[in-house]
Amino acid sequence: MPQSPIRKLAPYAEDALKKGKTIYYLNIGQPDIKTPQIALDAVKTQSLDILAYTRSEGSEAYRKKIAHYYKKHHIDVNHNHIIVTTGGSEALLFAFGSIMDIDDEIIIPEPFYANYNGFSVASGVKIVPVISKIDDNFALPPIEAFEKLITPKTKAILICNPGNPTGYLYSKEEIQKLADIVKKYDLFLVADEVYREFTYDGNTHYSILQESGLNEHAIIIDSVSKRYSMCGARIGCLVSKNKQVIETALKFAQARLSPPSLAQIASEAALETPQSYFDAVINEYETRRNVLIEELSKIQGVKVAKPKGAFYCIVELPIQNADDFAQWLLEHFDVNGETVMVAPAAGFYSSPGVGLNQVRIAYVLNTESLIKAANILKEALKVYKN
């Protein structure tokens, strides 16, 4: 199993804290936005005597409410199309296990969420990457690039929309082109849509299940983690209108018994969160994005792609080895006792030797902290290059 590029530097961060340093955590997508009070209160007011197993596919009441949530986003599904999982991570593992066998192939535009590497290894599946580039703002490569990679072993194409780690938002036209490919070659199109709400500059999200003719091909991966700032709840879901996919994924769900009961209660309550919460959160993230991009653009030799969604960006630095730089920041550098923690981006690629001079930054801190963090990076690069 590969190490997580997001978490592997944690021991160095702990040592830095012990030395009295303050760390600005730009490495992990843990929002500082408060969890909706309605979700926390739903747990606090429970009078359960027993924390019993729930249904393997998740409680029916919760799944019906999820289906209602999707309808508000123009995604027409019912509760029987949904399996509640222990986070979006488990939904991905269920999807991999349900649609692919050992040595099958899945095409993924890279850079991609680092754990796709881990899930593929755990499932014995080979990732076939389609490289997108920072110079193109990580736009989807030409469709011909996908078709050239399809073999008899290819079973699926996986996208993250909006994207982690790039913040790229797929247009309706791009989704339609991917839909044409998966129908032409009888593949699955798996879309990790956990950042659905987080789109900026007036852009809107277009789900693969909004596209007609994809019922047998489409699988959505979803989660409450970022939407409601409930990362610790570990509640997600797998959604598909393909009956065989759901029946197969349910066997995996039965093998792990059930998703967490209290977290489902909190997640069900979170669905009552008013739109005003999201309006405020999205406005805050858009402001943070703008501040971060502006500050990073001031640093000589730094290149950054402007995200259209989610809350991450890939940053290319004037260095050779981002792993070494990220560790050095924690071990040997500070500005008035403060330093930053970033995620080296090579772990977000499966192609060897790509992304070595890039880092992923999560703009999940307030604007004041982001400005300070960018200044620390600026000063750190001056010292590190010498």
pLDDT value, residue 239: 98
**Alpha helices per DSSP H over the chain:** 10-18, 37-44, 60-72, 87-99, 115-123, 143-147, 172-185, 243-255, 261-270, 275-297, 322-332, 367-385
Mean pLDDT of 243-262: 98
pLDDT value, residue 6: 80
Residue spans of the domains in the chain: they are 10-34+276-385, 37-270
When the pLDDT of each residue in the chain is averaged and rounded to a whole number, the result is 96
Cα→Cα distances 223→37, 165, 174, 267, 380, Å: 18, 16, 23, 10, 36
Cα angle 51, 57, 61; round to 5: 70
pLDDT at 7 over 90: no
CATH no. of 10-34+276-385: 3.90.1150.10
Closest CA to 52 of 233, 262, 266, 252: 262
Phi first, then psi: what are they for 25, rounded to 5°? -85, 100
Whole-angstrom Cα distance, residue 23 to residue 12?
11
CB 315 within 8 A of CB 361: yes
pLDDT value, residue 11: 94
pLDDT at 13 over 90: yes
pLDDT value, residue 108: 97
Q: Render pLDDT for 32-52 as a digit per residue (tens, 0 to 9).
A: 999 999 999 999 999 999 999
pLDDT value, residue 142: 85
pLDDT value, residue 385: 86
pLDDT at 285 over 90: yes
Amino acid letter at 235? I
Amino acid letter at 185? Y
Q: Render pLDDT for 327-377 as a digit per residue (tens, 0 to 9).
A: 999 999 999 999 999 999 999 999 999 999 999 999 999 999 999 999 999
CB 236 within 8 A of CB 225: yes
Q: Render pLDDT for 81-122 as a digit per residue (tens, 0 to 9).
A: 999 999 999 999 999 999 999 999 999 999 999 999 999 999
Q: Render pLDDT for 150-190 as a digit per residue (tens, 0 to 9).
A: 999 999 999 999 999 999 999 999 999 999 999 999 999 99
| Percent of the chain residues topping a pLDDT of 70 | 100
Binned at pLDDT 50, 70 and 90, residue 143 comes out as confident
The DSSP string of 259-306 is --HHHHHHHHHHTT--HHHHHHHHHHHHHHHHHHHHHHHTSTT-EEPP
Q: 10-34+276-385 and 37-270: same fold?
A: no
pLDDT value, residue 2: 86
The DSSP string of 325-370 is HHHHHHHH--BTTEEEE-EEGGGG-SSTTSSTTEEEEE--S-HHHH
CB 330 within 8 A of CB 339: yes
pLDDT value, residue 3: 83
Binned at pLDDT 50, 70 and 90, residue 225 comes out as very high
Q: Render pLDDT for 300-335 as a digit per residue (tens, 0 to 9).
A: 999 999 999 999 999 999 999 999 999 999 999 999
Topology at the third CATH level for domain 37-270? Aspartate Aminotransferase; domain 2 (3.40.640)
Phi first, then psi: what are they for 40, rounded to 5°? -65, -40
